Structure 1
Amino acid sequence: TASLRDICYTAATRREHFRWRLAAVGQSRRQLAEALDAIADGGGASRDVALGQVKGRAPRPVFVFTGQGAQYPGMGAELYERHAAFRAAIDRCEALYLARRGTSLKALMWQGDEAALACTEHTQPALFALEYALAQLWRSWGIEPAAVIGHSVGEYVAAHVAGVFSLEDAFGLLLLRSELMGALPAGGAMLALQGP
């Protein structure tokens, strides 16, 4: 028999989404089977079962990619261990980072300290890798964005996800950007102006 995890994964990502939807909650396989049997026998919604019909079309998602400041040590480590698509994306960025900088991006993200990760030269590629890997994970689940948008580092990820740049070009530009910004004096600021 298939595992409950496999059944849920297949139902969510590999099957046509029909107008009628059902969600069942249970603490065991047996409880879920009983809830589903009750529906199959003509029962309606209950405390453990939600049943309904989709009205209209759901809006398609927009992927929003953040800029610097959202980083923290250990970000993405659990996703790397659990999801092949996320792992493959991080590994692609790791290879590009190693080729350019000669050090491990994964070690920086997961074994480095907060101060090291806060340096612009490290923060920007780490965030790019994380955001790119998250996009690849969502896509592996069948979720495609209707649009993408990003701020700062996120603009480079958004450009790649939108097909503007190859991964190599987007990540290479971001690495150069992080090096140039890292060479600037500390204490920069951002200015926002309201136009006419």
Structure 2
Amino acid sequence: MARTRYKISIDLYADGDEWELKQFKDVSDALHTRSQERDRLVKVVASHLDSLACEYSISSSSHDVSLSDEEQTLFHRLSQEENKKEEAEREEYKKISDQLGIKRAIWSMEHKLLHQKEPAFKGLLEVIYDGHWGEAGAVFEAVADPTWRDLFQVADRLISKSGDDHHVFIEAFLRRGDKLKLCTGS
């Protein structure tokens, strides 16, 4: 069985000099044939490097390798465990979504947030959804001390009111004073 091992190298540039940062040698256990996950890792590394306020470049490459029978067995067992965990998370998300009566919206934020009972934001807020592809223009809804589940429901209603069937993935809520902007993607 062949597996792909990804090697990610990072070069930092400061004052015209090039420095090689530690090269990450084997991240294949989490990234086998998963280019999206590899790309996510690159984005995480990039965001951390952005905080250093320096120029950088990141490249990643893949190499096929062979696994021993023992490694194949272990990999298969870990893959099955990971699949079971992902399936359980999907079922839990579906259960919450059904309980809340969600019709259109899809929660793209951290799923753990939907289990928090305390308010996500304090105070009386106006949730605003604009900049979407729907014909309704900006749509609003007032909410007080909302939990993340409350915001999931509000977002679902605002997405439905907007008429935008394309941007249904809830990506963020940005607070400015007593306004809370709903950010979605497709």
Question: Same fold by TM-score, threshold 0.5 exceeded?
Answer: no
Question: Relative contact order, CA 8 A, sep 6+: which one is greater?
Answer: 1
Q: TM-score, normalising length from structure 1? A: 0.24
